[in-house]
Amino acid sequence: MLLVAIFTYVAFQSVNYYRLSDYQKQTVSGSLKFVAASLVGKTLDDRKQYLKKISASLGATVELRSLEGLSLGEKKLKGIEEGKLVFINPQKKDAYALVVRIPEESNLLLSIELSNFTEQMGRATVALIADLLSENATKTKQLQQLEKIKPFFGFPVHIVAPIQLILDSEQWDRIGRNESVLALDGTAKAVRLYKSLSNTGQVLFLGPIKQFNPYPVELVVLIGFLGLSFLGFTAYTLVRPLELRLRKLEKMVRRIKKGHLDARVEVVGRDGITQLSMAFNQMAEHVQILLDSQKELTSAVSHELRTPVARLRFGLEMIEDARTDEERLKFLQGMDIDIEQLDTLIDEILTYARLEQGTPVLSFKKLNVNDILNQICQEMTKTAQKAGVIIEFDAQLDEKTLVECEARYIHRVVQNLVGNSIRYAASKVRLKFEIQGDFCKITVEDDGPGIPEGDWEHVFTPFARLDNSRNQASGGYGLGLSIVQRIAFWHGGKVVVSHSSLGGALFEMEWPTKQKKSPGGIGAMVNSLKHIA
C-alpha cells in the first residue's frame, strides 16, 4: 500500500507536469507563430528591431536562434521540421523556453523565454492580432485573415459585434480609447481579452483563456487516501475468507499433531485453498491408514513371533531333560525347523514392509514372462510332488509375451500364488499367462476347497488366515497375498480372487504391458490402503 501511495503521488506529479507543458504551449503558440510569420521577408536589422519591440510588449525574451547551436534529440528535431513548438533548455532559472522554425528558413528558429503567461503578454497578444486585422478595411477581409491565423493559437479567437459583449462602463471606456481590456469570467478561472478594430467598429475577442490549475497536494492526499482505503477494503474482503480457511486448516493440523488422526478439513470451492485442503485430507487419510496398518502389523508380528520362539524355548528345556543322544537330535531337528520358519517369517515381514513404506525402487524392463513362469514351475515341482499336486502351465509362446515389469517381484508374485494353491489344492494347480490389449494377466487356480465369497475382501489383509475354508495347519503366515497385492499396486495393476472352474480358488493379477513413470498416485494409494485396512 505504501508503494501504491508513492506511485499515486508520482503519477499526479507527472500528470501536472505534462498538463503544465501543454498549457504553456497553448498560451504562447499563437504569439510565437504569429511573430515568426511576421519575420518572413524582413532584413536582419529589421528583424532585430521588430523582436526588440515584441520582447518589450510581451514582457518576455524573444530572439533568433540557430538550429546548429542547439543540442536537440531526434524527436524534437522532427517536431521543428513539422512546424511545431518544441521545448529547449532555458537560459534563466525558473523559466521555460520554446522555439519554432521561421517559415521559409531551414536553420533559423524563433525562441521565447518566460516564467509564465502574464497579463502583459495577453494584452500584447490581442494588440498584435488587432494590428494585423486592422490592415484590412472590410469585415469580410478581416474574417478571412482571422481564419488564416486561428490555427496558430491554442485558445478561441473571434470577431464580434459590440452588442454581443457584456462589459462594465470602465471596460467600455478603455475599448473606446482603443486599449486592450482583460476581464475575468464569473469563476475567476479564465480570462477574456478584448480590443477594438477601429476601422470596422468590430471587437476582437480572445478567450476564454483558462488559467492553469494544478492538482493541489490536498487533492492528491485525499485521492490517495480514498484509493488506499478502497484497496485495503478490497484486499481485506478477498483475503479474510482465505485467512479463515487457512486458520481452520491450521486447527486441523494441530489436532492431528495431538493425535486426532480423524481430523479433516471442509472442502469448499475450487481455489488454491481447496486444492490444499484436499491434499491435506488425502495426506491425513494416508497417515491414518498407515498408522493403523502399522499397529495391526506390529500386533500380528508379535503374535506370529511368539509361537516359534515359544517352541524354541520349549525345545531348549527338553534338550536339558533329554537322556539319550537320539532324543537330543530329535529336539534339535525340531528347533532347526522352528528357526527356518522364523527366518521365513522375518523375510516375509521385511518384504511386506519394504513394499508398504513409500515408493519402492523398481527397475522396469521388458521381459518374457513365460521364462519366469517356467522357472517357477521347475522350482515348485518338488513341493508339488510332495503334496501330490500336478502343476499345469498354459504358456503364450509368441513375441507379445515381452512386457515391462520388475522380474524379482513378478517372480515373488507367482511363487506366492502357486505355493498358496499347492497347499490347498486336492490334485491340480493351473498356471496361465495371457495378454489382452494393453494389459497382461497371470492366472493361478486350484481344485481345493476354495474361498467363500464373503471372505474375498479379507484374504489380502496382513496375517489373515481363513480357518473356515482353509486349514491353518497347512502352513503360511498370511502375508503372501498381501505382498502380492502391494506388488500389483506398484506395477499399476490389481489382483482379485474368485471361484475357479476347477472348484477351488482363482487368483488373477493384471497390470499394463507398458509402465508409466509413477503408477498409482496418492489417490490410488489411499484407495489401495483402504482396501488393505
Which region among 5-9, 340-344, 399-403, 480-484 has the lowest average model confidence (pLDDT)?
399-403
> Mean of the pLDDT values across residues 10-32?
80
The verdict on residue 262 lying in a domain is no
206, burial (CB in 10 Å: exposed 0-12, middle 13-18, buried 19+): buried
Q: What are phi and psi of 100, to 5 degrees?
A: -145, 145
pLDDT tens profile 45-84? 888 888 888 888 888 888 888 888 788 888 888 888 888 8
Please give the single-letter amino acid code of residue 323: R
- 126 or 352: which carries more pLDDT confidence? 126
pLDDT band at 476 (very low <50, low <70, confident <90, very high): low
pLDDT score at 525: 40
Q: What are phi and psi of 107, to 5 degrees?
A: -115, 5
266: confidence class by pLDDT, cuts 50, 70, 90: confident
Q: Which residues pair with 282 in a beta bridge?
A: none
pLDDT at 526: 40
Number of domains, the chain: 3
Asked if residue 166 and residue 59 are part of one domain, the reply reads: no
Indicate if the pLDDT at residue 470 is higher than 60: no
- The DSSP H or E segment spanning 466 is none
On average, the pLDDT of the chain sits at 79
pLDDT at res. 524: 42
| Per-residue pLDDT at 200 | 80
In a domain, 253, yes or no: no
What mean pLDDT is predicted for residues 289-298? 74
**Which three cell numbers mark 295?**
499397529
Report CA-CA distances (Å) from 334 to 313, 329, 344, 346: 11, 9, 15, 18
| Same domain, yes or no: 136 and 196 | yes
Same domain assignment for residues 137 and 88: no
Last residue of a domain, one of 69, 95, 116: 116
Show the cell assigned to 356. 508398504
One domain for residues 10 and 100:
yes
Q: For cell 528357526, what's the residue?
A: 339
pLDDT value at 109 more than 60: yes
Query: Rounded to the nearest 10 degrees, what angle do helices 480-490 and 325-356 cross at?
Result: 30
Residues 54 and 151 in one domain: no
Q: What is the CATH number of the domain that holds 45?
A: 3.30.450
- Judge whether residue 255 has pLDDT over 80: yes
Domain identity same for 23 and 145: no
Q: What is the rounded distance in angstroms from the CA atom of residue 455 to the CA atom of residue 451? A: 7
Q: In this structure, are 379 and 522 located in the same domain? A: yes
The band of 508, judged by pLDDT with boundaries at 50, 70 and 90, is: very high
CA 139 from chain center: how many Å?
Answer: 71
- Residue 318 falls within a domain, yes or no? no
The number of residues in the chain equals 533
CA 191 – CA 181 distance, rounded (Å): 10
Last residue of some domain: 215, 231, 263?
215
Same domain for 405 and 528:
yes
- In a domain? residue 271: no
> What confidence score (pLDDT) does residue 429 get?
92
pLDDT digits (tens, 9 = 90+) for 326-365: 888 888 888 887 787 788 777 777 776 666 665 566 778 8
Q: What are phi and psi of 117, to 5 degrees?
A: -80, 115
Angle, in degrees to the nearest 10, between helices 272-321 and 325-356 = 180
Q: Do residue 35 and residue 45 come from a single domain?
A: yes
Q: Is residue 301 part of a domain?
A: no
Q: Which domain holds residue 37?
A: 1-116
Looking at the predicted structure, is the pLDDT value of residue 475 above 60?
A: no
Region 239-262: mean pLDDT is 85
Q: Are 373 and 515 within one domain?
A: yes
User: Over 70: is that where the pLDDT of 467 sits?
Assistant: no
What does 137-160 look like in DSSP terms, one character per residue? -SHHHHHHHHHHHGGG-SS-EEEE
Q: Which of 433, 421, 533, 441 lies closest to 495 in space, CA to CA?
A: 441
Residue 477 has pLDDT above 60, yes or no: no
310 inside domain: no
pLDDT of residue 61: 85
Q: Which of 21, 33, 16 is nearest to 157 (CA)?
A: 33
Tell which residue, 448, 445, 451, 444, has the closest CA to residue 465: 451
End-to-end CA distance of the chain: 53
pLDDT-above-70 percentage for the chain: 86
Q: Residue 100 corresponds to which cell in the numbers above?
A: 519554432
Candidates 459, 433, 446; CA nearest to 369 is: 433
What integer is the mean pLDDT of 222-243?
83
Residues 99 and 139 in one domain: no
DSSP states of 276-290: HHHHHHHHHHHHHHH
pLDDT at res. 444: 92
User: Does residue 182 form part of some domain?
Assistant: yes
CA 263 to chain centre: 29
**CATH code, domain with 504:** 3.30.565.10
**Residue of 264 and 457 predicted with greater confidence:** 264
Kindly report, residue by residue over 391-442, the tens digit of the pLDDT. Answer: 888 766 555 568 888 888 888 888 888 988 898 898 999 998 888 888 889 9
Per-residue model confidence (pLDDT) at position 217 = 67
Shared domain check, 412 and 368: yes
Of 162, 194, 215, which one is at a domain's C-terminal end?
Answer: 215
Within a domain: 39: yes
Query: Per mean pLDDT, which range of 21-30, 282-291, 396-405 is the poorest?
Result: 396-405
